[in-house]
Chains A and B, each alone.
Chain A
Amino acid sequence: MSEHDVQREVTELQAKSATAARIFDLRRIIGGLFVLYGIIVTIAGINPSDSSLDKSEGININLWTGLGMLALGIFFLIWLKLKPAAPAKVDEKPDDA
């Protein structure tokens, strides 16, 4: 097995690979999950009980964490909106480069 054999094999496989064309955009998942988590945790922080405020040193940590997570989720969704993934090139021919 020489270097050239490995390179040829991987180059051929890479030409047939489907990941680039078919994989979904991760930004949608991160954005969606953090928006959902952000909403849940923010709601938990809207009317904090005294005991939960005492526990977290007087800081309404649910509210702040929830808003932070919401902001991160929205950031990913905006990024996705502004720069969608480039359409994958449809190229079935092996690439000799």
Chain B
Amino acid sequence: MQSPTKGAYLAAELRLPTNWLDYTILGIYFVVVLGIGFAARRSVKTSLDFFLSGRSLPAWITGLAFISANLAATEILGMAANSAQYGAYTVHWYWIGAIPAMVFLGLVMMPFYYGSKVRSVPEMLLLRFDKWAHLLSSALFAFAAILIAGVNLYALAIVVEALLGWPQWVAIVVAGAFVLAYITLGGLSSAIYNEVLQFFVILAALIPLVVLGLKKVGGWGGLTDKLTAQHGANFTTAWGGTGIGSANPLGANWLTIVLGLGFVLSFGYWTTNFAEVQRALSAKNLSAAQRTPLIAAYPKIFIVFLVMIPGLVAAALIPGFGTTDSGYQYNDAIPYLMEQLLPNGVLGIAVTGLLAAFMAGMAANVSSFNTVFTNDIWGRYVEKGREDEYYVRFGRLITVIGVCASVGTAFLASSFSNIMSYLQTLFSFFNVPMFVVFIVGMFWKRASVKSGFWGLLAGTVAAMVNYFWIYKQGIIDIPTDQGANFVSAIVGFVAGGVVMIAVSLFTAPKPAEELQGLVYGTTSPGMSEPPAVGDDAWYRRPALLGWGAIVLAAACYIPFSF
């Protein structure tokens, strides 16, 4: 799930006391990032190498890249902000809003994705439905990817300006240039390698911050006592006050949390967002592809503590944190603690981690954009059947264009004060309808060729109508943007599904022999691949890893539920 980042970004007085030591640490990181790009360059020979790392990476690398592509800085700052504002409800975005969907992707959907040998999520729709569904989903995805990349870049610029004092345009151009360089050189391999590196740097940045933050408020006990005194007992529980009809700060009840966040929004994001799925498609075999989201699920369960605790600590230390009286925004939680607690040295690691996370979030979107644009739009409808080298060259060119376009959208984003929360909503428009089309197409043989396009269109339009008309015009009263996002998601899902069923009943089904390997219950040659040597070990069995993650996430809820 993308995080619900709020409005205008950071308070200006958070300038960090960085010195030469911190800049040395940051400089080393930039050198290594570029070095990875140059070193990965010689591994790019075919278009499959450039766009999908030749389907050859081991599971631990794709798994950590999978989590890292999601752990962008907008997520880190946004989830800390979410915790400072709403309290422990943040755990829902992880334990119910991510784990079940990640396990479903690994256990149920991955054999179809990987086994059918598609290179992108829209290509799967081409096989199951027709070129109209394919073209619409490719265009929506390419558009959204550039917007999200631009938002990451803009958010980076604001944070860097506040923390380090660089002008915004310098940060945008520098970060854009580095991402451009390493993806153009090494393609997806260098994006993925940098994401894995970023994962560890982010951990090295957040763990000291959490330890020191907890020490400052007197441990977990001191933290909950302070928060209970300020915000009431529900602030440190997961489900307190979420009964239907009762009021809580999140503006959502348990039903919209479970259905809207836990089912529709989360499954839409994790199972059909190509920026995520691409990492799994680059794995070296079916077993590694299945384990990609499952390996990612375990860190995901615990990362919530690393982002939630700084948010809670900031809320406990400064009464009214995030309100105008305190002088801080909710987004300031992590930068505020960095400034208060980290000495030079660790501070450099933390700054590096934040910048790395922004660049990785942008790179994930750029590397999925260039793949969809080259394979699904240009190579399929504009310049068909050229030699493979042409598509590698075109992929590099479109990377340059994509980065320039996202620099443009970054400047565009800077002219809207709360573009972040609007974009979050817009993305739920794009992911959810894609998910309903996928899930109906995958589980219902009768879903006709034409139903894909109409379901996608109906779901997108319905979610937009709910948000812009029913919610924004106040036809139905929903207390917060987050609550409205959950409802939009459910509406988009239901509308897409109903239209698909209706269209299917009046149009011809796809012949059964063309559905092999695309519909649940059928198989294709790619799905019956025997496990590679060593992959039959018990700890590498996807079912065990998947159910283990579900049980662990459910167990994590226990201390937050009573």
Contacts and interface: CB of A to CB of B under 8 A. Distances in A.
10 contacts: A6-B127, A13-B46, A13-B54, A18-B46, A29-B35, A29-B36, A56-B341, A61-B342, A61-B343, A62-B343
Nearest to B36: A29
Interface string A2-41: 1100110011011011111111101001100110110011
Interface in A59-89: 59, 61-62, 64-66, 68-69, 72
A10 B119 contact: yes
A29 B34 CA distance: 12
B514 interface: yes
Contact of A26 (B118, B127, B193, B524): B193
Interface of A: 1-3, 6-7, 10-11, 13-14, 16-24, 26, 29-30, 33-34, 36-37, 40-41, 44-45, 48, 52-53, 55-57, 59, 61-62, 64-66, 68-69, 72, 97
Nearest to B131: A1
A34 B117 contact: no
Given A10-B48, A26-B61, A26-B196, A61 B340 contact: no
A36 B352 CA distance: 14
Interface residues of B, number: 61
Given A17-B54, A34-B200, A29 B32 contact: yes
B482 interface: no
Given A17-B55, A20-B54, A65-B207, 6 more contacts: A17-B45, A20-B56, A29-B36, A55-B340, A57-B341, A65-B349
B537 interface: no
Interface stretch (B177-185, B210-218, B428-436): B210-218
A73 B153 CA distance: 30
Given A3-B516, A17-B55, A44 B117 contact: no
Interface stretch (B20-28, B252-260, B553-561): B20-28
Contact of B126 (A1, A10, A23, A40): A1
Contacts of A16: 45-46, 48, 388
Contact of B49 (A19, A59, A64): A19
B548 interface: no
Contacts of B193: 26, 29
A10 B117 contact: yes
Nearest to A8: B117
Contacts of A45: 345
A78 B118 CA distance: 36
Contacts of B123: 6
A13 B47 contact: yes
B318 to A, nearest CB: 17
A37 B204 CA distance: 10
Nearest to A42: B345
Contacts of B32: 29, 33
Nearest to A20: B56
B380 A1 contact: yes
Given A6-B123, A23-B40, A66-B345, A61 B208 contact: yes
A62 B346 contact: yes
A59 B24 CA distance: 23
B212 to A, nearest CB: 5
Contacts of B215: 57, 59
Interface in B279-330: 284
Interface in B72-127: 116-119, 123, 126-127
A41 B516 contact: no
B197 A68 contact: no
A11 to B, nearest CB: 7
A40 B380 CA distance: 51
Nearest to A64: B208
A57 B216 contact: yes
